[in-house]
Amino acid sequence: MQINKNNNESKEIELTVELSVEEMKPHIEQATDKISKDVKIDGFRPGHIPYDVLKKQVGEMAIIQEAANLAIQKTADNVIKDNVDFKIEEVVGRPEVKLTKVAADSPIEYKIIMQLMPEITLGKYKELGIKPKEIKLEDKEIEKVITDLRNMRAKEVVVDREIKDGDKATVNIQMFLDNVPVEGGQSQDTAVMVGADYIIPGFDKELIGAKKGETKEFKLQFPTEHYQKNLAGKMVDFKVAIKDVYERELPELNEEFVKTLGVKNAEELKSKIKENLENDNKQKTEQKTVLEIFEKIIDKTKFSHIPESMIHSESHNMIHELKKNVEQQGGKFEDYLMHVKKTSEELEQDFKPDAAKRVKTSLMISQVVKAEKIEVAKEELEAKVVESLKAYESNEEMKKKADTAEFRNYLQYNLLNQKVIEKLKEWNVA
């Protein structure tokens, strides 16, 4: 066995392994036995077909390929153990193994590639003097929530008149760019709330004055930051056929209405809305403060490199989070992808810059943990495990998952992160 070791600027280790024809013989014999168990040839028992007979049936390369896979399974772990002196925590994820040369009557070659954790020089992480930027609650925000609640319970009546502000209209939409129909820009029976800036700002206002059976044609410029990059900043022609017009009657803000929301009167409703908005603003302020702390520390922290596999893994996690959020809201991820005109792979590529930030944040936090010797007490972890098991009491499948070493590691990781965040706030928030 020949092994060549190559260190790529301390970012990864590459081991090139060559197994001679002689060394491959036992693996070829094992591959022959394995494949022959699933092949029927007259005159031979399954598992006892000679190599020369079997290769005529399945092809020589099929046997060599299987032998190469078996050889890698048997030798790779020992190759790593004998040729790599890094600790397990210094290697990112699982080693990547690639078969690079395989041919009959020739040595086989495979590569083992291991990405290494970066060297990190932690920047200043204390006494940063962060001042939380409080979000002030305005009365109009409370009024907007009340209006939204009333809109959700509005009565709709079909009317034979022009569209007015506050109406709902069902329309058929056609969009054109340079007289060419926009892909995905045609829709039927679309509900438009006039006054809600549907599609793009100004669209709904263009419908005011039109009646059922009429068609409105107009031009509007798409915002430069619109998610559809092919339309962003472009002047688009619209052709909108009005099918029906609905007058919307909002319920009065009276005792009867507020009781449907589980409160006694309008004042209690406003008080609850205010409390919810204040809690929401408090969380947003907290999140912004923590992000500012992270950014300031990361800006002063030096990373020798960021492993591509970590960025890829985090991008994949972000796709999974997005998919979960879409489905929790009752949508289908496939429909979301069609809406944004992206494949899952393209979205993952778009997420890479933010994924890299997440990876840097995670690496920075791990350095703070080491520097400050922050730990999660056994009692804390056990209490969290018990809490999780109670939460999944009625879900047997989730209960089984919650009572595993993998889930405990996940809980410990989260608890450790929370401890670091609390410490960073304690040290840095003025």
Directed axis angle between helix 60-83 and helix 51-58, to 10°? 110
Which residues lie closer than 8 Å to 310 by C-beta, 6 or more apart?
Answer: 92, 93, 115, 359
Query: Nearest 5 degrees, angle CA 394-CA 395-CA 399?
Result: 110
**317 phi/psi in degrees, rounded to 5:** -60, -40
Q: From residue 258, give the alpha-carbon distance in Å to each of 139, 254, 269, 314, 425.
A: 18, 6, 7, 45, 40
**How many other CB atoms are found less than 10 A from the CB of residue 236?**
19
Expressed in angstroms, the distance from the first to the final Cα of the chain is 62
**Domain regions of the chain by residue span:** 2-117, 154-249, 269-428
Q: What is the pLDDT of residue 229?
A: 77
Query: Which CATH fold topology does 2-117 show?
Result: Alpha-Beta Plaits (3.30.70)
Burial 34-65 (b: 16+ CB within 10 A, else e): ebbeeeeeeeeeeeebeeeebbeebebeebbe
> Where is 58: in which H helix or E strand?
helix 51-58
- DSSP annotation of 429: B
Q: Are strands 168-177 and 235-249 parallel, antiparallel or unpaired?
A: antiparallel
Residues 362, 356: Cα–Cα separation, whole Å: 10
Q: What is the pLDDT along the chain (430 residues), one digit of tens a residue?
A: 999 988 776 688 899 999 999 999 999 999 998 998 888 888 888 778 888 888 888 899 999 999 999 999 999 999 998 888 777 668 888 889 999 999 988 999 999 999 888 999 999 999 999 998 888 889 999 999 998 899 888 999 999 999 999 999 999 999 999 999 988 889 899 999 998 776 788 999 999 999 999 999 999 999 888 877 788 899 999 999 999 999 999 999 888 898 888 898 999 999 999 999 999 999 999 999 999 999 999 999 999 999 888 999 999 999 999 998 888 877 788 878 877 778 888 888 999 999 999 999 999 999 999 999 999 999 999 898 888 888 887 877 877 777 788 888 889 999 999 999 999 999 999 8
The amino acid sitting at 113 is I
Q: Are strands 168-177 and 180-181 parallel, antiparallel or unpaired?
A: antiparallel
Q: Say how far residue 319 (Cα) sits from the centre of its chain.
A: 3
- For residue 250, give the nearest of 160, 129, 333, 167 by alpha carbon: 167
50, HSE (Cβ side, Cα atoms, 13 Å)? 4
Q: Are 352 and 311 in contact (CB under 8 A)?
A: yes
- Domain 269-428, CATH: 1.10.3120.10
- Across 85-167, where does the E strand assignment appear? 96-101, 108-115, 120-121, 155-158
What pTM did the predictor assign? 0.70
- Across 77-134, where does the E strand assignment appear? 96-101, 108-115, 120-121
Q: What is the pLDDT of residue 398?
A: 77
Instruction: Kindly tell me the burial class for residue 373, based on how many C-beta atoms sit within 10 Å of its own C-beta (0-12, 13-18, 19 or more).
Output: exposed
- Domain 154-249, CATH: 3.10.50.40
Q: Say how far residue 394 (Cα) sits from the centre of its chain.
A: 28
Residues 289, 231: Cα–Cα separation, whole Å: 35
Residues 236, 234: Cα–Cα separation, whole Å: 6
Q: Are 208 and 199 in contact (CB under 8 A)?
A: no
Q: From residue 303, give the alpha-carbon distance in Å to each of 114, 306, 313, 361, 380.
A: 18, 7, 18, 11, 32
Q: What is the dihedral of CA 382, 385, 390, 391, to 10 degrees?
A: 150
Q: What is the pLDDT of residue 255?
A: 86
Residue in the structure block whose two tokens are 């009546």: 157
Query: Nearest 5 degrees, angle CA 277-CA 283-CA 288?
Result: 125
Residues 217, 258: Cα–Cα separation, whole Å: 42
Q: What is the pLDDT of residue 10?
A: 64
Residues 98, 110: Cα–Cα separation, whole Å: 6
